[in-house]
Amino acid sequence: MSDVDNSTIYTARTPPETIAGDPIDESQSVHANETKSDSISVPWPGSTYMIRSRSTDTAGQVITLLEGQVVLAHQGGRGSAHWDCIEKDRWLGFRNPVSGKLLGHDEPGRLRCVVDQHRDWEYFCVRMKPEGGFVMLLRNGGRAESLWQLGLKVDKGKKAHEAHLAKIQKGDGIVWDFIKCTASNIIDGLSSDPAPSSV
């Protein structure tokens, strides 16, 4: 037997490291107002969120407590747009840390933030949509078997620009992103939009 090795060894030349680019740059973002500093996540008790619309007519606006009213406003404007997620009997609730009050609805279904207790009219079910974002469902009057979406409602005799946030029975509700608030994005801000605008 011969000790001669006639096999061929080929070693591919590869760089010592590979730097991959960001898989999704801002022009390819799933949501036009989404930035890399945003931390969109599933709402969970014990965390604080900004609740931002991704629906066409109201995209980028957040649920804000402004002068005692719950409105959609641009990020960075006046008002309080942070919501602490809490839980009771497996229902989610959203407490404004400035007022200490909970998001809920009144008898006609208009969104409000006036009560201290997490009860039937302050119960939310948040459901993820396959194409992204979430719908927020509210109990209809306290009946758990009937859930209505959170959306925009135009009262009889009013114009479309006078719509307000409310539970709606028919039609599509607003699709939302939940932006988890961290010390860095609260300090840095999520947007430079200076002025609030209610719906």
Q: Which domains does the chain have, with CATH numbers?
A: 39-188 (2.80.10.50)
Average pLDDT over all residues of the chain: 80
d(CA 52, CA 59): 8
Q: Given CA atoms 68, 72, 75, 78 in this order, what sign does their dihedral have?
A: negative
Average pLDDT over residues 4-16: 50
Average pLDDT over residues 38-52: 92
Residue type, 142: G
- Helix-, strand-, coil-residue percentages of the chain, each rounded to 5: 10, 35, 55
Residue 8, pLDDT above cutoff 90 = no
Note the pLDDT tens digit of each residue in 123-170. Answer: 999 999 999 999 999 987 666 678 999 999 988 888 888 889 999 988
Reported as a pLDDT band with limits 50, 70 and 90, residue 179 is very high
pTM of the model: 0.73
pLDDT at 140: 79
Query: Higher confidence at residue 72 or residue 25?
Result: 72
d(CA 136, CA 126): 5
Percent over 70 (pLDDT), the chain: 70
d(CA 66, CA 73): 9
Residue 23, pLDDT above cutoff 60 = no
pLDDT at 160: 81
